[in-house]
Structure 1
Amino acid sequence: MPPDTSRFPRSSPYWPVVSHPQLRRVLPGLAVSALGDGMAVVAVPWLAKELGPPDRHGIWIALAMAAYTVPSAVGTVVFGRLLRGRGGAQLAGWDATLRACALAAIPLAHLAGMLTIGLYVVLLAASALLHSWGSAGRFTLVAELLPQRHHLPANAVLGTIAGFATIAGPPLAGILISWAGSVWVIALDAATFAALALTYRLALPTNGGPARSEGGASRTAGFAVIRRDPALLGLLVLSLGFFFLFGPVYVAMPIHVTDDLHASATLLGVFYAAFGVGGLVGGVAAGHLRRWPLRVTTIGIVVGFGIAMLPLGLGAPLGVSLPAFALAGLIWAPYTSTSMALFQRSTSTTQLPAVLAANGAILVLAVPLGTMLGGPLVGALGPRPTLLLCAVAIVALGLVAGGFAISRRSARTPDPTGTEVSGRR
């Protein structure tokens, strides 16, 4: 008689992911590396503050934070011809290796007495060059190893790991910085990426993944695939607008707490902790959405997030605005899982790395650009009206996307034989 698989944990949508003979070997390395990145959120700007001239702390902190992520957009194009068509584990492993080496050079330069703020920013930028390809590699690996019905739960596992690291990493970094110094937290981050690189090298077969594309492939092939597919292009535009419109929140929230609520940084930390806890719950819940229509769910997340942000902009009491911010985090969390699942089911595994890298290269710029816009907006409108404007704009973006989705669906009118006249989805 076959074993009963109807009970927990085998009934969980996550069981096929965590029990997969290859993925289960990779997940611990991903968790360790994510924790290192969570610590870097505090360590990277703190070391920039220590190395930079006192009268230019803000400029160098901003440059360091941008250098840790933004160069991945350049790497997507520069290395496109070399990396297009590589397997997911290979791409993710190369990203982890580069991160480990470039970050390890920071404490080595410190020991040699050569670490300056300029060299620090250059090494951070070098560490980020393959970041979009590494992220694409992780989601490509999911598509390579699992059937389509398990893609969303697997994406949710990756998102939950990142969400937990976002909560645990920063306070751990604070403790370690006070004990050993920020440069050694960077060294620890490098060690976590080295462990991840070894995990990819040893835990997965070297012959996995699709065959490599021809050497003459375009560096921008991933962008071309998205441009030719209206559904993927629409998804990219939706994500770009969603992340861009959230960017000003990073500027408005601290000023809202101090000027509107007349509170300290402690309350700001409570807001972000509530958002993080909501995100962790939402990440865990994302795997249970696999039977929901993915495109409708993805658009609904955008609308729901904007609605959850409205109490902040409307000046609701703390007892309302704080739970609403936590709810916004819960709604936000599944977005990456559902949007990545749409890419995974719409693109072949041969094209998927280039397509996801192109998607990541554009989206990595969205939040920084939105944050840059936040300064003038807060200066002109004030923090609370800026939060309200962002919330309303996000709701409007989702409704417009929903309108386009409905119009595309209605355009696929079936003929009398029951086949679609136009459209391929």
Structure 2
Amino acid sequence: MRSSPYWPVIRHSTLRRILPGFAVSSLGDGMSVVAVSWLAIELAPAADRGVWVALATAAYTLPGAVGALVLGRFLRHLRPAQLAGWDAALRAVALGAIPVLHAFGALGIQGYIALLAVSSVLHSWGQAGVYTLIARVLPERDHLAGNAVLSGLGSVATVVGPPLATLLIVFGGPAMVLAVDATTFLVLAVTFLLAIPQDAVPEPEGDTASRTAGFAVIRRIPALSALLALTFAFFFLFGPVYVALPLHVSDDLGASAGVLAAYYTAFGIGAVLGSVLTGFLSRWRMWPTTVGIVIGFGALMLPLGLGAPTAVSLVCFGMAGLLWPPYASMSATLFQRWAPSALLPHTLAASSAVRVLSVPLGTALGGPLVAGLGAAGALRLSGTGITLVGLAAAALTLRAERTRYEPAAGAARPAGAEPEAEPEAEARSRP
């Protein structure tokens, strides 16, 4: 155990304070994956369920991108723990209002979507706070393992959360699940705001950045621009799955919420295994690995839209889950390594805003896609698009490699040299 790459993470004095709260909150999020869409299905008019499910799912994340842009002047000087804590507190209040209004019969579909939107306004800054904290309290060699621990807690929650949500839906309805989710965010808010001493996280001096400094950093470093473009396309094309999969289960398969939970659980089991493996990949070349993950993920999504038996599509969805944590952790690690320390929260918030925007945009597209192609057709288009994006990124990477080494082969570095092992200025110039 002591030789594991995760040992320095779980033994760190500051991280020991936040990991339990993060684990509880992740469980709530794992439950809400089922509850958010299922409550929208119950509240929405039958004729327009696809559109309303898409709006509800997008509202749970999309406003975070707006918050990253318009709230920078108020939030950019807060400590990482404060950013994460205020995000969790807002989620606890807004999500907690949903079951209260539902209990009094005062919750309509429009009000439901509005509350989901309010709950997510600070999410980009909250995520930036968490990953900035990881980067500042751990040495660089432990960043990937630290990110993998957070990803692993979320993955475990996607295994435990959906079945637990299904039980609560059966006995109390999806609003009860969101009440539990709100409680878990309250625990996380208390953890970040009260359990971490102010001097526990090192703070760089001289932060005079503007509210758009994070986007300027990404524009200035081509490697980060390329990574963020790949991530945006990947997540955007995955977005329609959040609409198509519930409707595929309920309409095409004629199945219950339990079958939908089984898909998310299979994805979660794969993600747990992927999270465990991620910490041991620190010697892999991160950029080629992220590109390969995108290609493999898209290929594994295709059986869902090609009419494969449910058992086969469940296995493939689970294998896709295996690839999700390494991609998330590696991309976060590259941002932590390449962005200037003083501007890391701003850069991560900008990155999170783009990523947060990508999934809801894809999810919003899911409603029209399902209406035009059917749920299976939307799933098929999603898998094909992700695969093609990965192949395009691989082709561009190979072309860049040839261009880099062909002009002056005698002066080139060894072919196995890692970008992150190069001098800082050169490493930031390309993937």
TM-score between the two structures when normalised by the length of structure 2: 0.84
Deviates further, 359-368 or 135-144: 359-368
Residue pairs, 1:31-42, within 5 angstroms:
31-42=23-34
Contact 1:312 1:388 in 2 (8 A): yes
Q: Write the distance in 1 (CA, Å) between the matches of 2:51 and 2:183.
A: 28
Conserved in 2, the CA contact under 8 Å of 1:85 and 1:213?
no
Tell me the SS of whatever aligns to 2:4: coil
Partner Cα separation in structure 2 for residue 247 and residue 362 of structure 1:
13
Give me the identity figure in percent. 54
CA-atom RMSD in angstroms:
3.3
Deviation at 1:130, TM superposition (A): 0.5
Number of residue pairs aligned between Structure 1 and Structure 2: 415
Once residues 249 and 105 of structure 1 are traced to their aligned partners in structure 2, the CA distance between those partners, rounded to angstroms, is 27
Look up the match of 1:3.
none
User: Closer, same or farther in 2 for the Cα pair 1:184/1:258, shift >3 Å?
Assistant: closer
Distance of 2:346 and 2:92 partners within structure 1: 23
* Worse-matched range after superposition: 245-254 or 164-173: 245-254
- Deviation of 1:292 after TM superposition, in Å, equals 0.9
- What is the correspondence of 1:121-270 to structure 2 with a 5 Å cutoff? 121-207=113-199, 208-211=201-204, 217-253=209-245, 264-265=255-256, 268-270=260-262
- Pair 1:93-2:85 in alignment: yes
The whole-number CA distance in structure 1 between the counterparts of 2:40 and 2:303 is: 35
Asked if 2 retains the 8 angstrom alpha-carbon contact of 1:85 and 1:350, the reply is no
| Change in CA separation of 1:232 and 1:94 when aligned onto 2, cut-off 3 Å | same
Q: Is 1:152–1:337's contact at 8 Å kept on the other side of the alignment? A: yes
**How far, CA to CA, are the matches of 1:95 and 1:71 in structure 2?**
12
Q: In 2, Cα distance between the equivalents of 1:396 and 1:222? A: 29
**Alpha-carbon displacement from aligned partner over 1:184-242 (angstroms, at most 9, x marks no partner):** 43333222112111111333221334247656x43222112112211101001101111
> What are the equivalent positions in structure 2 for 1:15-414 lying under 5 Å apart?
15-48=7-40, 60-107=52-99, 117-207=109-199, 208-211=201-204, 217-253=209-245, 264-265=255-256, 268-312=260-304, 320-377=312-369, 386-412=378-404
Give the whole-Å Cα distance in 2 for the aligned partners of 1:178 and 1:259.
19
Letter matched to residue 398 of structure 1:
G
Gaps of 5+ in 1: 1-8
User: Quick one: distance in 1 between partners of 2:129 and 2:61?
Assistant: 16
Once the two structures are overlaid, the 10-residue window that deviates more, 362-371 or 20-29, is 362-371
Give SS of 2:210's match: coil
Say whether the 8 Å CA contact 1:106–1:123 is kept in structure 2.
Answer: yes
- SS of residue in 2 equivalent to 1:351: helix
Q: Distance in 2 between matches of 1:73 and 1:109?
A: 27
1:85 CA drift (Å): 4.6
Task: Name the aligned partner's letter for residue 156 of structure 1.
Answer: A
**Which amino acid is the alignment partner of residue 286 of structure 2?**
L
> Quick check: 2:58–2:361 contact (8 Å CA) kept in 1?
no
**Displacement, 1:105?**
3.8
CA distance in 2, matches of 1:54, 1:384: 19
CA distance in 2, matches of 1:270, 1:282: 18
Deviation at 1:155? 0.8
